[in-house]
Amino acid sequence: MAPKAFVLADSEDGLLDRLDPGINTVPYLLTLNAVIQSSFNLRSKKVPAALQPDGRIWARILDFTSSFDKYQIRYVPGEMRQLMDLTIHIGRCLGDMAQVVIFPLQAAMHRIDDTVGTFTSLHLDYVRLIHETGMYSEALSIVSQPIHSFPPLPLKAADREFGADGRTFWSNFASSRDYILQTGLSDKIKPADVYEYFLLAGMVYLALEDYKNASLNFEHVITAPNIGSPHVFMLEAYQKWLLCQCLANGHSPAAPSTTNSTALKHLQNAAKPYTALASIFKSGDRARLFAEIDVGQSVWTNDGNWGLVDQLARHLDRFHILNLQKCYSALPLSFVAHGLNRSSSDTKRFIEMLISTNQLNAETQMPPNTSASEPVLRLYPETRISGPLARTELQQLEALKAQTGRTEKIAGFVRAANLRASVTKEYLQFEAKAKKDEASGRGGPSNMADVLPGGGPPMDGFGHAVDDDDEDLMADG
């Protein structure tokens, strides 16, 4: 049927009205794509009324993305990706209203994979759109979910399970990892896509001032497997990781032990201004910190990190008080004000702000049974077993249950990953050689690369051999 015929059929009593997206997923999707393409000139940025947020066809998109059958969609992956691309394109053409596209994308990603934990090209499209629209809080629906799998390369025909009509039984794949790339619901994933996703996810948390989770996402980029020099995204992530660690913990620790040693040397050499800045921040020397920030202003600005560096200056006083918390349980407010080089009234307002935003477990109070007029800052443990931020036993129990649930969930993903690794060709070669060497009295290979010719092909971290063209190094940035 021609696209114009679809438009004619799609009246109030038309074809889409007669189809249920949850039951008739395939015909509904085909019809919906044709209707959108017939109603909207993709070369034009003018979105017709029917495709705007209160339009009739837009309502169809929302209905479909929230209710389609996740098994049927595996048989029309190209059409599903086309709908997602059309939806993103419409959003970008809507300008100030582009944020409405976030919701159908979220719904579709959760239906395709309820864990949202198998990385796809749609993850990258989504987080890019988040930054374009500024809908940072909405991003948590996706970026807060742990990425537990990367799609493997498509199966060979001999390894697939076919039906009588010669088509693959995609519905038999229980794990999202096994069918997402196989069916074509995602483009082929390159290492640079993963680096960019975690970098942008970390920047989402920066916008929300959640420096702990931001540094965790930047750490994923820094520790990613790579060959030769680090990717340009790794350098940007390393710079931001150093600053985020200061904002989250008051200092920047050593790089994670899993970081590639060669890449780390390049990163440390290229980020010396940030390392020096982190060292001064840890010392708490206000004068040196402000001087260093001023001297390196062009560096921070050119790297796009001026906002983060400015936060260092703002958070220095907070860590001064947190350090006092380690030594004192109570002290005069004037003593704190002197250390911060602020007036007592300004210090009191600053402390009350920290308490109200749950950044400091403390309270200001007048000393009991004394005639002193000066208030006292009473500090309580960061563990929050007492003080104004103390949690009840029920709250602690609920937090423990939630943490246990997250741990068990991740442990299941780890077991599945270990199982997949144990049946790979490289691992079986490694085990065979180790047993052979053990039987002959020689030491076995120390790692799997030892059993592969020339140390084995370069790997991208997903278990795939890397082509030189796929790896954009810092020198190409």
Tens digit of each residue's pLDDT (9 = 90 or more) over 278-300: 999 999 898 999 999 999 999 99
Are 264 and 358 within one domain? no
- Please report whether residue 422 resides in a domain: no
Q: What are phi and psi of 362, to 5 degrees?
A: -160, 175
Residue 74 and residue 197 in one domain: no
Residue 163 lies in a domain: no
Q: Which domain holds residue 287?
A: 190-327
One domain for residues 321 and 372: no
Count CB atoms within 10 A of the CB of residue 310: 12
Co-location of 323 and 338 in the same domain: no
Mean per-residue pLDDT for 306-313? 93
- The answer to whether residue 443 scores a pLDDT higher than 80 is no
Name the domain boundary from 327, 348, 364.
327
Q: What is the pLDDT of residue 230?
A: 87
Query: Which of 305, 327, 349 delimits the end of a domain?
Result: 327
Q: Based on the domain organization, do 2 and 130 belong to the same domain?
A: yes
pLDDT at residue 106, as a whole number: 95
Task: Find the mean pLDDT for residues 446-450.
Answer: 49
Domain boundary among 374, 390, 406: 390
What percentage of residues in the chain have a pLDDT greater than 70?
82
Is 459 inside a domain boundary? Answer: no
- Taking all residues of the chain, what is their mean pLDDT, rounded to a whole number? 82
Task: Tell me, yes or no, whether 12 and 49 share the same domain.
Answer: yes
Domain presence at residue 419? no
Same domain, 229 and 365: no
> What is the count of structural domains for the chain?
3
Going from the C-alpha of 237 to that of each of 147, 233, 243, 270, 310, the distances in angstroms are 18, 6, 10, 12, 18
pTM for the model: 0.81
In a domain, 402, yes or no: no
The predicted pLDDT at position 472 comes to 41
At 42, the pLDDT band (50, 70, 90 cuts) reads confident
Co-location of 348 and 305 in the same domain: no
Q: 114 with 203, same domain?
A: no
Q: Is residue 22 part of a domain?
A: yes
Task: Tell whether 177 and 282 lie within a shared domain.
Answer: no
Tell whether 451 is covered by a domain: no
* pLDDT the model gives residue 15: 83
Mean local confidence (pLDDT), 425-442: 80
Residue 475 lies in a domain: no
Cα-based distances in Å from 340 to 242, 319, 376, 377, 380: 24, 11, 16, 14, 20
Please check whether residues 78 and 15 belong to one and the same domain: yes
Q: Are residues 258 and 196 in the same domain?
A: yes
